[in-house]
Structure 1
Amino acid sequence: MELSPIWLLVLATFVPAAMLSCAMLYPVRRGAERLGLLDRPGHRKVHTQPTPLGGGIGIWFAVVTTFALGTLAVGVCRMTPSLAAYLPPSIAESLDAIWARTGELWGVLAAATALAVLGLIDDRRGLSPWIRLAVQILVAAAVVFGLGFSLTAFIPVPWLTKCLSVLWIVALINSFNMLDNMDALSGGVAAIVAAMLSVVMLSTPDPESGQPQMLVAAMLLVVSGSLVGFLWHNRPPARIFMGDSGSYLVGFLVAVATLLATYAGYQEQARPHAVFAPLCVMAVPLYDMTTVLWIRIREGRSPFEGDKSHFSHRLVDLGLSKVQAVLTIHLLTLTCGLAAVLLSFVTLPGALLVAGIVLCMLTLIVILESTGWRKDEP
C-alpha cells in the first residue's frame, strides 16, 4: 500500500527525531555531572534531588541530525531519478523547491545552535539576564533582517513588521523558558504547539503552488518529535531537565517556523484570519509569561527574578497536584491548538466564534485563579 505524502512526511521527520532524541539523552544523563550540568534543589525549585540539565543537547542533536539526513536524502533523490520515482508525485515534484531552501534552513539551524550554546553556558555557569536578552535580540534580528523572515501581519510599514518579528521571536523564546518549571510541562506544551502548527501548515496551501507547506510542517514535526523523545526522560519524576539550552532552542524554532509560514491560503479559499493561528496556539504560554511578569512588577521585583508565581505554581496553590497542574496546562494548550487548526477552515464569522471560545477559556482561568488570589489577601 502506498503511503500518502503526509504520512511519509511524519515517518521521515517526527519518528526519527523522537528516536534520536530519546537515544541521545541516555549518555547525556550519565555524563551530565561531569559536564557541570546538574540542577540542585533550591529555594525556588520544586524538585528535591539533583537532576541533569542537558535535555537541550538531546533535542538539538535530534533536530540537526534529522535535518542533515533529510538534506542528504533530498540531494541524493535529485541526482538519482530512479530513487525519486518511488516518492509520491507531489513530493518528487517539490524536490527542487525544497533543495533551493536548504541554505535558508541551515541558516536557521545555525542561529538556533547559537541560542542553544547560549543556554548551555547559562545552565553551566549562569549569565546575566541582560546578556541573555541581548544575545536573543541579536540572533532574532540576524534572522529577521539577514534572512528576510517576518510576520504575516498585513502592516504596510516594513520596519515595524520587522521589529514586531524580532519581538515575537524573543517573546516565544522566553515564554517556553519561563514555562520550564515542572516535569514535562514546557516540553509537553512545546510538543503540542509544534504538532498543532504542523497541522495548520498541512491544511493551509501555499498561495503560489496551492500545495501544503511541507517544509515548514517538516520543521515543526521534527521539533515535536524531538520533544516527545525528550519527554520519555522528563516524565515525572524527571530524570533530566530541558534547561535553558532546550527552551531557547525550541522557542526559537517554533517562532521562526511561524514566520516562514503562510496563513492566508490562496484565491477563493483565502482565510486571512488564519494569521492569528500562532497567537491562538501560543495563548497559554503567553498567558503564563504575561501574568508572571505582571506579578513580579506589581510586587516591585525584577521581572528577571525567578520565583513560584507561574501558572503551574498557581494551579498547585489552588489544590491541584503537580501532575494535575501539568496535565491541565497540556489540555488547555491542546484546546487552543485545535482552535488554531479550525481557523484554517472557517470563514470570518466562524473565526470570530473560535476567538471567542479561546478568550472565554482564558477568562475562565483568570476567574478560577482569582479565588486563590482572594484567599491570599490579608
Structure 2
Amino acid sequence: MAISLVSLYPVRRNAVRLGLVAEPVGHSTHTRATPLGGGIGIWLGIMIPMILGTAVVLLSDRIPMVADALPTSIAGYFDGISMRLTQLWWLLGSATVLFVLGIWDDRRGAPVVLRLGVEFAVAAFVVYYLDFGFTAFIGAAWLTKLLSVVWIVAVINSFNMLDNMDALSGGVAAIIATAMAAVMLTTPSPGSTEPQLFVAGLLLSVAGSLLGFLWHNRPPAKIFMGDGGSYLVGFLIAVSMLMATFASPPRPHAVLAPLCVMAIPMYDMATVLWIRIREGRSVFVGDRSHFSHRLVDLGLSRTQAVLTIHLVTATCGLAALLLVHVSVLQAVAVLGIVACMLLLVVILESTGWQKQSND
C-alpha cells in the first residue's frame, strides 16, 4: 500500500511527459485532463515486495543468519516458498506482459485484435503451461482448461470495463481481493490444516496496492487506473481464483465462490455487451451504458452510485466467504442471497428502462 501510494506522486507529476493523460473527450464523463498511470503504482506495489521477499528467501538458503534473524513462524515457510518461486515469477512475468500491453494501450491505443490476442495467449500460457485451472468437478479436462482461459480473459475485461468512475474499479477490485484472501485464509490446503497462504498473500498484495492507488483515485480523482492497471489487477485476481482450492469434493458448491464475488463486474460486462448488441453498436466501442452510469441516470450522484456498487460487491464477497464453509442446503440460501441482490439491482434498473421507453 505504501509503495503504491508514494510512487504515484511522481507518476502524477510526469504524466504528460510519459504520454499517460486521459482527455475529456468521447464517452468520458470527466471534465479535465487526468493522468492515466495508476497502474504503474499498482504494479510497483505488487512487484517490489515480491522482489524483496524473494531476495530474503534466496539469501536465507546461502546465509543462515538471515533466516535465524526472523521469527520461526515466518522462516518455517521458506522451504515451501522456495518450491513455488519459479511458479510465482512465471505468473508475475505474465502479469507484467499484460501491464505493458495496457500501458501501451493507454499511450497510443492498441488494436482490439492485438489486445484480445495477447490476453488469450497469456491466459493459455498460464492454464496449459503453469497448469492453473478450474476445480469444477467436470470430467472433461479439455473443457475445464478452455473455461479457465475464457474466465481469465473475461475477468480482465470486466475490470477494464468497470473502470469508468472515480474509485469504482479499484474499490471493487480491492473488495474482491480482500474477500477472496479471507476465503483462502479460512480454507485449508488439500490434505492439510494449513490455510492457503500462497494465494492469500498474492491477493493481499493486490489489495494493498489498490488501497494505495485509491488514495489518489478518490473523488475527484487525481489519477486513473488506466488499461495497464485494470489488465494487471484483473489477471492476478482471475488467476488467483484458479490457483485456489475452495473445498474438498463433499462441498462441490464451494467452487461457485468466484462467481459470487465477481457477480457485479460480470453483471456490468454482460449487460453492457447486451445493450450494445441490442442497439446495433460495436461491443468494443466505449459508451455510457455501464451499470454505474445507469445508476446515475436513476438520480444517484456519482459518489452514491460508486458506493452502491461497493456495498453490493461487499455483500457478494461475504456470501462467497460463507459459501465455502456451509452444507449444500445452507449453500442454497447463500446463493439465494446473491440472486436476490442481483434481482434487486435489476428491479432498480427497470425503473430507468421504463422511463426511457416512456420518453
Instruction: Map Cα deviations across residues 184-208 of structure 1 (whole Å, 9 max, x no partner).
Output: 0000000000000000000000013
State yes or no: 1:44 paired with 2:27.
yes
Deviation of 1:59 after TM superposition, in Å, equals 0.6
Deviation of 1:43 after TM superposition, in Å, equals 2.8
For 1:348 and 1:310, the matched residues in 2 are separated by: 34
- Structure 1 unaligned residues grouped into runs of 5+: 1-17
For 2:147 and 2:302, the matched residues in 1 are separated by: 35
State yes or no: 1:140 paired with 2:120.
no
Residue pairs, 1:82-121, within 5 angstroms: 83-84=66-67, 89=72, 91-121=74-104
For 2:136 and 2:60, the matched residues in 1 are separated by: 36
For 2:248 and 2:208, the matched residues in 1 are separated by: 26
For 1:152 and 1:88, the matched residues in 2 are separated by: 35
Aligned with residue 288 of structure 2, among 308, 325, 330: 308
Deviation of 1:155 after TM superposition, in Å, equals 1.0
Name the TM-score, length of structure 1 as normaliser: 0.92
Deviation of 1:85 after TM superposition, in Å, equals 5.2
For 2:278 and 2:357, the matched residues in 1 are separated by: 15
For 1:263 and 1:93, the matched residues in 2 are separated by: 24
**SS in structure 1 at match of 2:16:** coil
Structure 1 residues 265, 78: closer, same or farther in 2, change over 3 A? Answer: farther
Deviation of 1:27 after TM superposition, in Å, equals 0.5
Matching residue of 1:208: 191
Deviation of 1:86 after TM superposition, in Å, equals 6.2
Aligned with residue 329 of structure 1, among 296, 305, 309: 309
Residue pairs, 1:113-262, within 5 angstroms: 113-262=96-245
Aligned with residue 14 of structure 2, among 31, 51, 66: 31
Deviation of 1:159 after TM superposition, in Å, equals 1.1
Identity %: 63
Q: 2:102 corresponds to which letter in structure 1?
A: G
More displaced 10-residue stretch of structure 1: 77-86 or 179-188: 77-86
Matching residue of 2:346: 366
Name the TM-score, length of structure 2 as normaliser: 0.97
For 1:86 and 1:271, the matched residues in 2 are separated by: 41
Matching residue of 2:43: 60
Matching residue of 1:288: 268
Deviation of 1:222 after TM superposition, in Å, equals 0.2
For 1:293 and 1:281, the matched residues in 2 are separated by: 20
Matching residue of 1:276: 256
Instruction: Map Cα deviations across residues 161-194 of structure 1 (whole Å, 9 max, x no partner).
Output: 1110000000000000000000000000000000
Q: 1:165 corresponds to which letter in structure 2?
A: S
- Structure 2 contact 127–133 (Cα < 8 Å) conserved: yes
More displaced 10-residue stretch of structure 1: 338-347 or 19-28: 338-347
**SS in structure 1 at match of 2:18:** coil
- Structure 2 contact 137–252 (Cα < 8 Å) conserved: no
Deviation of 1:152 after TM superposition, in Å, equals 1.0
Q: 1:213 corresponds to which letter in structure 2?
A: Q
Structure 1 residues 271, 88: closer, same or farther in 2, change over 3 A? Answer: farther
**SS in structure 1 at match of 2:134:** coil
Instruction: Map Cα deviations across residues 72-110 of structure 1 (whole Å, 9 max, x no partner).
Output: 122234445555456565543332111110110000111
How many residues align structurally? Answer: 358
For 1:64 and 1:322, the matched residues in 2 are separated by: 32
For 1:288 and 1:236, the matched residues in 2 are separated by: 21
Matching residue of 1:264: 247
**SS in structure 2 at match of 1:377:** helix
